[in-house]
Structure 1
Amino acid sequence: MKNLKFCTFGLLVMSLSFVSCNREENLALDKELINASADIDLTNELDFNSGIDISSDNSSYSDRNSLQSNAITPCASVNVNNTTPGIFPKIFTVDFGTGCTYNGITRSGIITITITDYVMNNGSIMTIERGSNYYVNGRKVEGTVVYENTTTNTAIPQWTRTITNGKITNPAGVVFNHYGTRTVKQTAGVSTLILADNIYEITSGSHTITKTGGASLSVTVVETLIKKYACNHISQGQLDLQGSVLDGILDYGNNTCDNLATYTHSNGTIYNVILY
């Protein structure tokens, strides 16, 4: 197999031979878009985990100096506008300060999480808003993510996730705008009081990322994605990638909690992928 590295999900093509210089330029452009797509997925999953943690049904909704011991970011400070159970909306302010590192990921700045009801209740809405100074691993992250609970079976909570006015700026200052909708289900850990055993499935949806200047990448779920609360990365499932050169499937593997994946181009060539 040829080697392909995704930096921060990243895509560093080690060996892709294209005759046309224009195709090489397009490939470099696709690499940037894929990097941005990976950053978007990572930040969305991190923020969702934080939202589930601080707004879970077993929370006392009291002001806390830090997230609970099973949280993904125990170094963040959390405050809530009201501490009375059953009174909504509740607005949580999560402050990562000038740098909060946990499990190899550094966040800084503030996100605001608003819930209209208990997060597991049908019809409840959780809105995550990124402040103007919010950074994840050196990437500036902006925009609003809305999770609407559409559960029909209480044993399998489900949300529709919609991203609007999304923006991510990489360390080089390149800006990527994005939007999209996905369906997310919780398939494990529903009945326990801990979060580490939670498993989520992204069953459908698509996302569009556009680099300043007009180039874009379309990302569509074609095989259910598995995301474990305890893992930084998606561990199983497939995405269809359509860009100026990319035309193929990204496969996350066999549900192992690691940073490995493969990309299969439409011509059948397979490239190894490292997720960062």
Structure 2
Amino acid sequence: MTARVLKFGVMMLLGTMFFISCSDEDGVNLNETNDLNAEEIQDMVVADDITSDIDDILEDDDLDFGLLARGGDESRSSVADCATRSVVVDDVAETLTITLDFGENCVGPRGRELSGKIIIVYQKTDLGYTKEVSFDGFSVDGNTIEGSKSVVKVKENSNGNKEATHTADITITLSTGETIVLEGTRTREKIEGDETRDRGDDVYLISGNWRFVNKLGNEFTGNIVEKLRREYACKYIVSGVTEITKNSNAYTLDFGDGSCDNTATVTNSAGESREITLRRR
């Protein structure tokens, strides 16, 4: 299989989890066999929902990792009060391994029910550090995650901002027993909010591409052609464009002009467009 990568394709494509509803304006039917339909989008939503939660957990632990480097309490976790955090230092390999153990039915600050473990191996580089992420019986709301994820983080990119490149190969077994696969690469550049520990003022620009296989075995690819803007204070992607390909048919998903709203526009190769409504699941 090609380098599989994760939140993080649809994460990129849809950036955040959403449910889709469409009107019949302009006579455009996006629910035909060769077009993207609601159930296919729903599958991508589920994957994006879960991988976005993983990304949030990794970002939260980044804060704790920074405190640890300054002599902070290694058992402290910003992820959830019910999570147990342990740290193992390997001086020979020059790595630091953090295990986040959620036990069973640990409810995080965002209301997700987390179980099992996430293992994060940090290793410093000249420009920042890398993270290798694996899962041990880990699930989100009863959906089990298997596979791996790697992150390369730099303290300062060419724009002077922190940047993280995520690569993932993840299989999600839904609570219904069906499986979906998400693989891809995305880069998150933090353009605002680095001056505070408050996640609420964080703003990211996201680029990348992904491959997604839904529970029926149908395959889709996505490529961000205009960087997606993700504001932590908003539950929707506020701007940017992703190109989605299904059965050699190309579509674009345009998230708008920067307003924090729940709408986006889907356009097919014939130039026919329709507005869709995004609702957080």
1:234 equivalent in alignment to 2:233: no
Q: For 1:9-48, list aligned pairs within 5 A.
A: 9-12=18-21, 15=24, 24-27=32-35, 30-48=37-55
Q: Secondary structure at the match of 1:39?
A: helix
For the 8 Å contact 2:115–2:137, the answer to whether it is kept is no
Gaps of 5+ in 2: 1-15
Q: Secondary structure at the match of 2:200?
A: coil
User: 2:142, 2:248 → 1: CA distance?
Assistant: 27
Gaps of 5+ in 1: 1-6, 68-72
Q: Of 178, 181, 184, which residue of structure 1 is paired with 2:182?
A: 178
Greater length-normalized contact order (CA 8 Å, ≥ 6 residues apart): 2
1:90 equivalent in alignment to 2:96: yes
For the 8 Å contact 1:184–1:201, the answer to whether it is kept is yes
Deviation at 1:14, TM superposition (A): 6.1
Structure 1 residues 108 and 237: alpha-carbon distance in aligned structure 2, compared to 1, 3 A threshold: farther
Q: Of 52, 73, 83, which residue of structure 2 is paired with 1:77?
A: 83
Deviation at 1:237, TM superposition (A): 1.3
Taking only the aligned residue pairs, the percentage that are identical comes to: 22
Q: Of 198, 204, 210, which residue of structure 2 is paired with 1:200?
A: 204
For the 8 Å contact 2:181–2:212, the answer to whether it is kept is yes
Structure 1 residues 196 and 59: alpha-carbon distance in aligned structure 2, compared to 1, 3 A threshold: farther
Q: Of 117, 130, 150, which residue of structure 1 is paired with 2:124?
A: 117
Structure 1 residues 127 and 189: alpha-carbon distance in aligned structure 2, compared to 1, 3 A threshold: same
Deviation at 1:221, TM superposition (A): 0.3
Deviation at 1:246, TM superposition (A): 6.4
User: 1:239, 1:270 → 2: CA distance?
Assistant: 15
For the 8 Å contact 1:111–1:134, the answer to whether it is kept is no
Q: Secondary structure at the match of 2:209?
A: strand
Per-residue Cα deviation, 1:10-47 (whole angstroms, up to 9, x for no partner): 3455659799xxx744557x544433333333333332
Moved more, 242-251 or 155-164: 242-251
User: 2:138, 2:108 → 1: CA distance?
Assistant: 16
Q: Secondary structure at the match of 1:102?
A: coil
Match in the other structure for 1:70: none
Code of the aligned partner of 1:10: F
1:64 equivalent in alignment to 2:75: yes
Match in the other structure for 2:12: none
Q: Give the number of equivalent residue pairs.
A: 255
Per-residue Cα deviation, 1:127-168 (whole angstroms, up to 9, x for no partner): 222333312x4433322121112543483112221112x112
Q: Secondary structure at the match of 1:45?
A: helix
Structure 1 residues 180 and 233: alpha-carbon distance in aligned structure 2, compared to 1, 3 A threshold: same
Q: Of 189, 193, 218, which residue of structure 1 is paired with 2:221?
A: 218
Deviant stretches of 4+, over 6 Å: 16-19
Structure 1 residues 108 and 275: alpha-carbon distance in aligned structure 2, compared to 1, 3 A threshold: farther
Deviation at 1:189, TM superposition (A): 1.7
Root-mean-square deviation (Å) = 3.4
Structure 1 residues 255 and 45: alpha-carbon distance in aligned structure 2, compared to 1, 3 A threshold: farther
Match in the other structure for 2:194: 190
